[in-house]
């Protein structure tokens, strides 16, 4: 069966953000697959930093555990990613650098409205996400614990660590160092700043083992310098600079316990999760190291850590090699069979 994957928009008028600011938002999403009669086979698959619905296919297919013949798959685009409401596509006065902070909590609140108002969904069989997608899965499990049955969070933490905050601040500074930055009121995209950011990010994303084992040769690059010149130099050129920075701020503010319910008590927030949780850090991820997932798992009622023994750094959760993808699929299979 061939499923129509039509990008749709869910309008949220007068949406109150966590900051109490009221804005109008559009949540762009894909919804496809086979929704059963009692709506018990829903899979929610949020997007990652600088990613859209177009980069989610590696976990979906007839040869994957998330098979649209068996499940109804919803892919919501995170705000600020250039598809859902973002600095680059908002009308004045929210255009560009005037765009407000939208938190992971705000993203999940909007997704909740989508599922309830458009599809009348009461239960989610599985939420799976990589990186910021995994943050959203974690947030869902604390924000709507009665609704979520299972989550797989790949290369993601319940709270952005101080180390990752500092790393991201460096990326922010790199992009805004462009002479054309003009406090976000640029006439042309500050691509020199994007290149500076990408060159700095390249050493973090794939990690030390990827370079040490010369895995870049499998991707057709002869040297580490070629990786920079041919892959990373222009990797962010198609993304708007203010969008990239807004997503950095969203990432930095991520904390599942930063709300009126848990008042910053992360242990209490983790203990409140009722879903089955599989945390899948990459063994060599430099900004989502396994140690923090191992600490978080101590407070989960039904949680475990399955480390991906990958040489792909943060991209362990991106299905870049068959072994990584097979391990992720096996964990998804275990949860879906329950």
The pLDDT, as a whole number, for residue 3 is 76
The pLDDT, as a whole number, for residue 254 is 98
The pLDDT, as a whole number, for residue 1 is 64
List per-residue pLDDT tens for the chain, 338 residues long: 667 799 999 999 999 999 999 999 999 999 999 999 999 999 999 999 999 999 999 999 999 999 999 999 999 999 999 999 999 999 999 999 999 999 999 999 999 999 999 999 999 999 999 999 999 999 999 999 999 999 999 999 999 999 999 999 999 999 999 999 999 999 999 999 999 999 999 999 998 999 999 999 999 999 999 999 999 999 999 999 999 999 999 999 999 999 999 999 999 999 999 999 999 999 999 999 999 999 999 999 999 999 999 999 999 999 999 999 999 999 999 999 97
The answer to whether the CB of 76 falls within 8 A of the CB of 52 is: no
Q: Tell me the catalytic residues.
A: 131, 285, 314
First vs last Cα of the chain: how many Å apart?
26
H-type alpha helices, the chain: 104-119, 132-143, 162-176, 191-205, 207-212, 224-226, 241-252, 266-271, 290-297, 322-336
The answer to whether the CB of 240 falls within 8 A of the CB of 86 is: yes
Q: DSSP letters along 118-143, please?
A: HH----BSEEEEETHHHHHHHHHHHH
Q: Which CATH superfamily is domain 8-160+255-336 in?
A: Alpha/Beta hydrolase fold, catalytic domain (3.40.50.1820)
Q: How many CA atoms lie within 13 A of 264 on its CB side?
A: 0
The answer to whether the CB of 190 falls within 8 A of the CB of 180 is: yes
Alpha carbons 94 and 106: distance in angstroms, whole number: 16
Domain ranges for the chain? 8-160+255-336, 164-247
Taking CA atoms, 120 is separated from 43, 113, 115, 117, in Å, by 14, 9, 6, 6
Q: DSSP letters along 208-219, please?
A: HHHHHTTGGGGG
């Amino acid at each position: 069966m061939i499923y129509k994957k039509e990008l749709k928009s869910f309008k949220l008028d007068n949406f109150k953000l966590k900051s109490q600011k009221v804005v109008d938002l559009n949540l762009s999403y894909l919804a496809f697959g086979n929704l059963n009669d009692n709506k018990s086979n829903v899979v929610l698959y949020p997007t990652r930093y600088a990613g859209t619905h177009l980069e989610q296919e590696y976990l979906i297919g007839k040869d994957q555990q998330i098979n649209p013949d068996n499940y109804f798959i919803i892919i919501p685009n995170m705000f600020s990613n250039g598809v859902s409401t973002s600095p680059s596509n908002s009308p004045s006065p929210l255009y560009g650098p005037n765009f407000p902070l939208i938190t992971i909590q705000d993203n999940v609140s909007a997704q909740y409205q989508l599922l309830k108002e458009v599809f009348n969904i009461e239960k989610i069989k599985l939420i799976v996400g990589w990186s910021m997608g995994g943050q959203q899965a974690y947030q869902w499990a604390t924000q709507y614990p009665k609704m979520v049955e299972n989550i797989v969070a790949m290369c993601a933490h319940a709270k952005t660590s101080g180390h990752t905050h500092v790393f991201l601040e460096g990326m922010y500074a790199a992009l805004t160092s462009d002479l054309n930055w003009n406090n976000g009121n640029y006439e042309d995209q500050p691509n020199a700043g994007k290149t500076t950011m990408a060159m700095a990010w390249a050493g973090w994303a794939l990690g030390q083992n990827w370079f040490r084992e010369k895995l870049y040769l499998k991707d057709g690059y002869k040297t580490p310098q070629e990786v920079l010149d041919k892959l990373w130099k222009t990797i962010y050129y198609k993304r708007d600079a203010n969008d990239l920075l807004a997503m950095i701020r969203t990432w930095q503010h991520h904390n599942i316990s930063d709300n009126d319910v848990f008042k910053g008590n992360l242990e209490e927030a983790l203990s409140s999760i009722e879903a089955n949780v599989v945390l899948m850090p990459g063994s060599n991820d430099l900004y989502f190291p396994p140690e923090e997932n191992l600490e978080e798992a101590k407070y989960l009622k039904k949680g475990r850590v399955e480390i991906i023994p990958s040489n792909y750094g943060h991209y362990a959760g991106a299905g870049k090699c068959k072994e990584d993808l097979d391990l992720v699929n096996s964990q998804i299979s275990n949860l879906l069979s329950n």
